[in-house]
Structures are given as structure tokens and as C-alpha cells.
């Protein structure tokens, strides 16, 4: 009986820990302030990697982004080059709702994505199908960007399935 209660208690703690998270509004007063329309205007380059659940690097890549902002619509045309020579392209379109909220769509993302920016941070969560070993697997992408004082932008994305983080993507963006 006591063993069963302990197992139930730790299972409940595990579930609750998985539900806890940072609220982007906690960053409202942080500096420097990030506005994705301003940051991504023009050409931006980034370097990144994909790691599996154990932390092992599975892929490395570079991405060049052409950004334009017109009539409250931000378009990000992303061209990826992976270390094995594979290329990919994603085009995001974000419509500004207000100072903090955007609605985004992308050619390989199902439906609309609500994104929010406060202080130095930007956050969005969206479904994405990823090909792994010839199979398409749907992940929930939990995507956070943080503007640094030197103007670089760090992007961390958790790839989740059934609430478990099975991979992570890290990028560093540079405007120079």
C-alpha cells in the first residue's frame, strides 16, 4: 500500500513538473526589447544544431533568412543548408495583432500559430511533422527566442511528443 502511494505521488509530481513552464509575460520588463519585425528585416544568418533526447548532435545546419515587413505582415523566407548537403525551405508569414501578439503560418506547419513577444523574448508553440528514418513523426515545437545585449538572438526549441522532450534545436542568429 505504501509503495503504491509513493509511486502515485512521484507520478503526480512528474506530471505536474511537465505542466510547469515559464510565462513569456515574466520577461515584459527585460532589455533589450525584441520586436521580430525589426530584428528580421533584411538578411539574417543563423547557425544551428538538432540534438536527440540524450543530447547527441544529430544534425548541424545554417540558415539564411530574407525578411520583409509591410502592412503589419512579416514574411520570413528561410533557406536551410544541412551539413550533409541537404537543403530545405520554410516561409513564415506573421500578422501583427498588437504590440505583443502575432498570428503565424508556414508552408509546412498545419494551421495558425499564436506567437507572443515580451521584453527580450519571443515564444510560439506549433505542430510540425518531421521525417525521421523515412517516417513522418508529428512533434509539438516549443520555440523560444531571446535577444542578447550584443544583438545576437538565441533560439531554443524543444521537440515534444506526448509531453516528453525527444529532441532540441538550438540556433544563434546574427545580423552582421
Alpha carbons 106 and 89: distance in angstroms, whole number: 10
Q: Is the pLDDT of residue 9 over 70?
A: no
Q: Is the pLDDT of residue 144 over 80?
A: yes
Q: For the residues 147-156, what does the mean pLDDT come to?
A: 97
Tens of pLDDT, residue by residue over 54-79, are: 999 999 999 999 999 999 999 999 99
- Banded model confidence at residue 3, pLDDT cuts 50, 70, 90: low
Q: For the residues 133-150, what does the mean pLDDT come to?
A: 94
Alpha carbons 102 and 122: distance in angstroms, whole number: 10
pLDDT score recorded for residue 175: 86
Secondary structure in 3-state letters for the chain: CHHHHHHHHHHHHHHHHHHCCCCHHHHCCCCCCCCHHHHCCEEEEEEEEEEECCCCEEEEEEEEEEEEEECCEEEEEEEEEECCCCEEEEEEEEEECCCCEEEEEECCEEEEEEEEEECCEEEEEEEEEEEECCEEEEEEEEEEEEECCCCCEEEEEEEEECCEEEEEEEEEEECC
Amino acid at each position: 500500500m505504501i509503495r503504491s502511494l509513493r509511486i502515485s505521488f512521484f507520478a503526480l509530481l512528474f506530471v505536474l513538473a511537465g505542466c510547469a513552464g515559464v510565462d513569456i509575460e515574466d520577461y515584459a520588463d527585460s532589455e533589450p526589447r525584441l520586436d521580430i519585425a525589426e530584428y528580421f528585416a533584411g538578411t539574417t544568418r543563423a547557425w544551428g544544431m538538432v540534438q536527440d533526447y540524450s543530447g547527441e548532435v544529430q544534425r548541424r545546419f545554417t540558415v539564411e533568412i530574407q525578411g520583409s515587413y509591410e502592412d503589419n505582415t512579416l514574411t520570413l523566407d528561410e533557406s536551410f543548408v544541412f551539413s550533409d548537403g541537404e537543403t530545405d525551405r520554410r516561409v513564415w508569414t506573421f500578422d501583427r495583432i498588437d504590440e505583443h501578439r502575432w498570428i503565424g503560418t508556414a508552408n509546412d506547419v498545419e494551421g495558425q500559430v499564436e506567437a507572443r513577444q515580451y521584453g527580450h523574448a519571443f515564444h510560439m508553440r506549433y505542430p510540425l511533422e518531421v521525417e525521421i528514418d523515412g517516417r513522418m513523426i508529428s512533434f509539438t515545437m516549443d520555440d523560444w527566442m531571446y535577444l542578447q545585449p550584443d544583438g545576437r538572438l538565441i533560439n531554443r526549441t524543444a521537440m515534444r511528443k506526448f509531453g516528453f522532450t525527444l529532441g532540441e534545436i538550438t540556433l544563434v542568429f546574427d545580423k552582421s
